[in-house]
Amino acid sequence: MGFFEAIILGLIQGLTEFLPVSSSAHLRIAGEFLPSASDPGATFTAITQIGTELAVILYFREDIARILGKWFGQFRSSKGAHADTIDKNDPDVRLGWLIIIGTIPIVLVGYFAQDYIRSTFRSLWLVAIVLIVFGIILGVADMLGRRVREINELSYRHGILIGLAQMLALVPGVSRSGATMTAGLALGYTRTAAARFGFLLAIPAVFGSGLYELVTAVTCDPVLDAAEGCGAGYGLAETAVATLVAFGVGFAVIAFLMRYIQRGSFLPFVVYRILLGSTLIVLLSIGALQPL
């Protein structure tokens, strides 16, 4: 049954990671309806996100190679008549710095708030509320945002603000892509620009978190660390299967989303978030689900 559940959760992770609906919230909710009827846990969630971030790297491989090339190129010596020089104000150099700087807030909060991330933040009451609240905020930003700025116009101030928004994704229900895209839209960027920077910004944070949790799971002692569950009930084999499934499905979803937002709005996702959060509140109110 572990592999069956892992495949289902991998599908859910891949389907929801890039849509502004919160993959961590969906994994948290889905766990209650699977045969084991338990929370997959923060460790399982973080590791499977490695799969979806590999999909980001594959999809944006040309952008990533260009940004890395120019970012490292700024440090090359400019000696010689034909030496290549990279302007430190080049948009790709700036993007490289912003991805680094914008990652700092979520790393710091993620490290120091581990106890809350593994417990309080996973309350279904909190998940339901933030699904609704941040869904409404996304809808307002999408409706009122000017949507005139492109990614090559991203300033340091705006990049840092979007990085702070990403920090909110530590709470299941907020949505990493939803938070960064909401901030981007509110700052006047196009839907495509906001999504593109949000996906690139997530790479170091998600890989860092996933690898940290992977090391934790591998080195976990089933007896000494029984309270942590060494991955909350799923072994490394099941988690690996879920991660592979998330990679394949995630690549298809990111390709769909980048095409969709060129013309479509975020309204369907806003409506979905409100309906899901409301349904969750009803189920919690009647005792069909327990918050923790």
Q: Rounded to an integer, what distance in angstroms lies between the CA atom of residue 267 and that of residue 274?
A: 11
The answer to whether the CB of 10 falls within 8 A of the CB of 245 is: yes
Provide DSSP, 162-200. Answer: HHHHHHGGGSTTS-HHHHHHHHHHHTTB-HHHHHHHHHH
Q: Rounded to an integer, what distance in angstroms lies between the CA atom of residue 30 and that of residue 12?
A: 8
The pLDDT assigned to 78 comes to: 57
> E strand or H helix at 211, and its extent?
helix 191-219
The pLDDT assigned to 224 comes to: 42
Q: Rounded to an integer, what distance in angstroms lies between the CA atom of residue 268 and that of residue 104?
A: 32
Name the stretches of the chain with pLDDT < 70.
1, 37, 77-85, 220-234
Q: Rounded to an integer, what distance in angstroms lies between the CA atom of residue 252 and that of residue 22?
A: 17
| CA–CA distances in Å: residue 87 to residues 98, 103, 203 | 16, 23, 24
Q: Rounded to an integer, what distance in angstroms lies between the CA atom of residue 31 and that of residue 35?
A: 8
What confidence tens digit (pLDDT) does each residue in 118-173 have? 778 889 999 999 999 999 999 999 999 999 999 999 999 999 999 999 999 999 99
Strands (E), the chain: none
| Mean residue pLDDT across the chain | 88
Q: Domain locations in the chain?
A: 2-75+84-285
Amino acid identity, position 9: L
